[in-house]
Amino acid sequence: MTNDRLPTRRDYLKWTSAAGLAGLAGCSSGGDGSGDGDSSGDSSGDSSSDGSGDSSGDSSGSGSDYPSQRMTIVAWASRGGGSDTIVRQGYVRSIRENDLLPVDVRAINQTGGGGEAGMRYTLDQDPNGYTVLNVTTNLVVTPLSRDIGISYEDFTPIARMGVEPILLVVRGDDDRFNDVQEFRDYAAENRVSIASFDVGTQDHTAAFLLSQRTDMNAEIVPFSGGGEQVSALLAGDVDAAVTAPSEVSDMRESGEVQYILHFSGQELELYPDVPYVSEAFDTEIVVEQFRGTVVHGDTPDERVEYLRDLYEEIYNTEEFEEYADSNNVNPAFLRGEEFYDYVEGVNQRFTEVFQENNLGVYSDS
């Protein structure tokens, strides 16, 4: 079995560069979510909290007693997916194991709308620095896919923590598809179903462009999280899934899934036998995913800097390195405004492709 474990942080980023990360160009979230477990009172599944619990007794000012109450980190996908896993295994576990906070921290899930529910939940909380949202490339893609009245500019960046390629995967025991060419040939004669994370997300966009530009007869089936995508694939409810390595790396090692294509636009050292789109087809599609954290845009500067220091500490823990290694996430730290500049570049690239392909908010319909 091919070993697709990541190199350590000291060896990372042999396959990517700052200028090309998380872009989308045209021709023109498997951890198990268990992590360190929930603390008493943590929400699981779809939290229905009204948000009042995280701000009681603390104003949005920048008093020196911060933090003085339990902090909340929001995963905007369901339990077991990549967003949930980085929150519980990468952040909460690192904080607790290394005593990085003087207060407790919990993880909650706010699922739906390709991250929209998590964005709305975070913006509904007091901007006091006690609610941190874990984000992916959908921070820019979801607002481009439909008018939700929210954009990345409504948030203050804390840190980018890692990047991942986006993959097309099939079941390991599916004899119809030994490689992407067999998948394409089959889809030219038969209708195939491809699971994605919600409508308009980076997964959905990659699957849509692939089906459009290669004339595949494909139905894109959205799910509310990576865990649900993979469960549907393994159950045979869909023929393939477009997802990130953190959702399926363990299943690749066990042979349950096979990687047949990635959307990175260049060869990946981790997956030398897996072609990228322009290697396999006469078109170019580049979609990659970042993972990072943001807070409400009105959070006081003093608290923002505290959180940036905190996430830099998290990034340098053994626990976070273990999370990244076991989930095939490339550690890639950008602090504060550097992360914001990076997100602006990602937004520009996706905007150009949405405009060129008449997608989302740029659709004529």
Nearest-Å Rg of the Cα atoms of the chain is 20
Q: What is the pLDDT of residue 226?
A: 77
Strands 218-223 and 257-262 come out as: unpaired
pLDDT of residue 219: 93
**Whether 162 contacts 327, CB under 8 Å:** no
CA dihedral 189, 25, 238, 227 (to 10 degrees): 170
Kindly report the CA angle at 224 between 221 and 230, in degrees rounded to 5? 65
Scan for tokens 């990175």, then name that residue.
264
Using the structure block, give the residue that is written with the tokens 């948000």. Answer: 51
| Predicted pLDDT of residue 209 | 86
Distance CA 286, CA 301 (A): 35
Q: What pLDDT was estimated at residue 7?
A: 29
The pLDDT, as a whole number, for residue 11 is 33
Q: Specify the 3-state DSSP secondary structure of 168.
A: strand
Q: Distance (Å, rounded) from C-alpha 278 to C-alpha 264?
A: 10
Amino acid at 279: E
pTM: 0.70
- Give pLDDT < 50 ranges for the chain: 1-57, 60, 62
Closest to 183 in 3D by CA, of 216, 159, 136:
216
Q: Specify the pLDDT at position 267.
A: 81
